């Protein structure tokens, strides 16, 4: 989606310079924009507790995700936007580079309790939203990627469960497992061992992370999908389909049906899988790359950020600070809504009794996961579809891996050059 960040930068800066800050008072009402209906109950509970402790009211507004950032951008430019809103890792760079977010660091530095709250957050999340050591958001929650697998299928095949060997198994083991778990008749495949596809966050970013690769350079100015590490990663996933024949030449995501024995999944799927899977399943860390012997995963987390032209910045800061408290984080975790961003509250999410035995693998992954790829110069829509499309063509066998990744890199870099030059 296009957020209009470059078109509106000048207006945003002008409004920021002319907008006055209204002192916090009992009459102030903040607008808080979110997009997930499923998270509304926990959000309202946190708001109720905040309002009980402060002379500040908060109105929460649900804005559908497909139009969320377009409406936020227009609201910031026109002066009618929310005081506080959710921010993704995908969109943070463009909002930050276009001065569309309040720098929270001066407020945190002046508030020891707020500083302690920030210190309690997982470092990978805290650092992402604090470029140059300046915090522009309080991380709220996160998700990671791990492997889910059919325990019954493992036992039938006589294989040691991945949860038992998760700290030592490698891509080579995954290939072997995918072959042994695949069941064929003369006419069809009844069950595939593994399945993978072109969606980066779920299927190939985590393996690329394990192999020491990245989608972008550290400064976000160029794509690096033509690197040796990326080629090795996608070639391995291609070979799972076409050489080892342990994965279908199409993505099969229907894990609960039993059609695939192993599948990368996000932590957000735990509840659905637990409620819709009839067989016993468990979770394990994704295998290490044999080239680096490192584990990999992808972490994505939301942050609560403040409109720099909020009607009451002090009140807005008090609200986002409360949302970063252990009390508010535990609401998110104990209700099974999301994994809280705080280290001391994250385990609350995994205390649901109907979740698989080794569910903690999702939490452990945050220790070694790389943040979701992003560049401040392009919106996600301007690069991710290109990357996923060419990776998918390579996985399908329609293009050689090296050629597909070179094409993706060339197109994304052309978009970057144009964006940076503007």
The per-residue DSSP string of 68-112 comes to HHHHHHHHHHHT-S-SEEEE-HHHHHHHHHTT-S---HHHHHT-H
Cα gap 105→242, rounded to integer Å: 51
HSE-CB at 299 with a 13 A cutoff on CA atoms is 28
Which residues pair with residue 339 across a beta bridge?
142
- The answer to whether 390 and 228 have CB atoms below 8 angstroms apart is no
pLDDT digits (tens, 9 = 90+) for 34-54: 999 999 999 999 999 999 999
322 Cα distance to chain centroid: 23
Q: DSSP letter for 285, please.
A: P
Gap between the Cα atoms of 373 and 386, Å rounded: 14
Under 8 Å between Cβ of 289 and 296: yes
Q: Give the model confidence (pLDDT) of 314-368 as tens digits.
A: 999 999 999 999 999 999 999 999 999 999 999 999 998 789 999 999 999 999 9
Q: Please give the pLDDT value at position 26.
A: 54
Count other Cβ atoms within 10 Å, centred on residue 409.
21
- Residue 7 confidence (pLDDT): 39
**pTM of the entire structure?**
0.91
Distance CA 233, CA 226 (A): 11
3-state secondary structure of 203: helix
Please list, residue by residue across 218-228, b when 16 or more beta carbons sit within 10 angstroms of its beta carbon and e when fewer do: eebeebbbbbe
pLDDT given at position 19: 44
Tens of pLDDT, residues 98-113: 999 999 999 999 999 9
Domains and CATH numbers, the chain: 5-142+300-351 (3.40.190.10), 145-296+375-421 (3.40.190.10)
Q: Of 165, 420, 188, which Cα lies nearest the Cα of 288?
A: 165
Please tell me what DSSP assigns to residue 212. T
Distance, in Å, from the CA atom of 389 to the CA atom of 400, rounded to the nearest integer, reads: 13
Of the candidates 260, 256, 270, 258, the residue with the CA atom closest to the CA atom of residue 360: 270
Q: Which two tokens stand for residue 312?
A: 């009451």
* Opening angle at CA 28, ends 23 and 30, nearest 5: 110
CA distance 173 to 169: 6
Query: Which residues in the chain show pLDDT less than 50?
Result: 1-25
């Amino acid at each position: 989606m296009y957020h209009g960040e470059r078109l509106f930068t000048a207006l945003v800066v002008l409004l920021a310079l002319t907008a006055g800050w209204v002192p916090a008072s009992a009459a102030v009402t903040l607008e808080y924009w979110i997009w997930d209906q499923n998270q509304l109950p926990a959000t309202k509970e946190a708001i109720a507790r905040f309002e009980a402790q402060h002379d500040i009211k908060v109105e929460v507004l649900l804005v559908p995700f497909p139009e969320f950032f377009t409406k936020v951008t227009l609201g910031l430019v026109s002066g009618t936007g929310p005081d506080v809103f959710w921010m993704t890792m995908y969109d943070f760079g463009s909002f930050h580079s276009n001065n569309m977010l309040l720098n929270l660091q001066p407020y945190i530095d002046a508030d020891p309790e707020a500083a302690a709250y920030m210190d309690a957050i997982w470092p990978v999340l805290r650092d992402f939203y604090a470029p140059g050591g300046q915090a522009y958001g309080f991380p709220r929650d996160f998700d990671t990627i791990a492997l889910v697998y059919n325990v019954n299928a493992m036992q039938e095949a006589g294989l040691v469960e991945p949860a038992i060997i998760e700290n030592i198994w490698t891509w080579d083991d995954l290939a072997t497992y995918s072959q042994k778990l695949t069941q064929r008749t003369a006419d069809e495949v009844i069950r595939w061992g593994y399945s993978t596809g072109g969606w980066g966050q779920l299927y190939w970013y985590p393996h690329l992370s394990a192999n020491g690769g990245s989608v972008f350079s550290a400064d976000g100015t160029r794509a690096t999908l033509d690197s040796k590490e990326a080629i090795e990663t996608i070639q391995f996933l291609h070979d799972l389909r076409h050489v080892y024949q342990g994965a279908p030449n199409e993505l099969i995501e229907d894990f609960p049906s039993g059609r695939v024995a192993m599948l990368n999944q996000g932590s957000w799927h735990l509840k659905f899988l637990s409620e819709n899977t009839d067989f016993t399943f468990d979770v394990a860390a994704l295998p290490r790359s044999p080239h680096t012997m490192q584990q990999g995963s992808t972490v994505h987390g939301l942050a609560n950020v403040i409109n720099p032209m909020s009607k009451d910045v002090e009140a807005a800061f008090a609200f986002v600070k409360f949302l970063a408290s252990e009390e508010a984080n535990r609401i998110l975790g104990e209700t099974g809504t999301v994994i809280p961003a705080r280290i001391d509250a994250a385990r609350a999410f995994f205390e649901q009794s109907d979740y698989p035995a080794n569910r903690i693998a999702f939490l452990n992954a945050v220790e070694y996961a790389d943040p979701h790829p992003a560049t401040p110069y392009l919106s996600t829509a301007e690069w991710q579809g290109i990357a996923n499309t060419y990776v998918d063509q390579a996985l399908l066998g329609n293009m050689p891996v090296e050629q597909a990744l070179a094409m993706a890199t060339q197109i994304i870099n052309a978009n970057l050059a144009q964006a940076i030059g503007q």
